[in-house]
Amino acid sequence: MADKRIDRIRETRTSAERPKSWAPPSTLPEPDRLPGYDYRWVRTSTLNEADPRNVSMKLREGWEPVKATEQPHMQIVSDTHSKHPGCIEIGGLLLCKTPEELVKQRNDYYQNQANNQMDSVDNNFYRENDPRAPLFKDHKTSVSFGKGK
C-alpha cells in the first residue's frame, strides 16, 4: 500500500509558527544596503526651518544623496515638496550614502583625536603628581596562610 504523501518541498510549517504580534511602524524605512556603502539620514530641516549648513557639511564630508531610482521601494514615502528632487527625503531627513572606507577613516580620525586628548589630560595630571603627596596610592595587598592544625 502506497501512502499518498505530500512532497517535502510543499509542506509548510504554518501550524508551528508563532502568531505575529503587532508592532508600530518605523518612522524611517530601512534602505536596501549596497555592499561597500554605509547609509545615514541627514537632517535637512527642523520644525520646517531649513538647515542648509548641516546638509552642506555632510556633503563636504563625503555623503551623497541617494537617488529614488536606487531604492524603488522608498519612492512612495518620499516627501513631495523636497528641496532635493529625485532623492529620498522623509520628514526633514535626507537619505545619504558613502563608501565604508570613508566611514572607517572618519572614525579612526575621531578616535585618534580622543586618544590625544586623553593622553594630554593624563600627562597634565601626572605632571602634578608629587611623591610627598601622591595623587595615586599604590595599594599593595598580600595574603599569608597560617599553619594548619
Tens digits of residue pLDDT in 26-42:
778 888 888 999 999 99
In terms of pTM, does the model score above 0.95? no
Summarised one tens digit per residue, pLDDT across range 86-143 is 888 888 899 999 999 999 999 999 999 999 999 888 888 777 777 776 666 666 777 7
Name the helix (H) or strand (E) containing 49. Answer: strand 49-50
d(CA 42, CA 45): 9
d(CA 103, CA 95): 16
| Residue indicated by cell numbers 502506497 | 2
Domain boundaries, the chain: 37-122
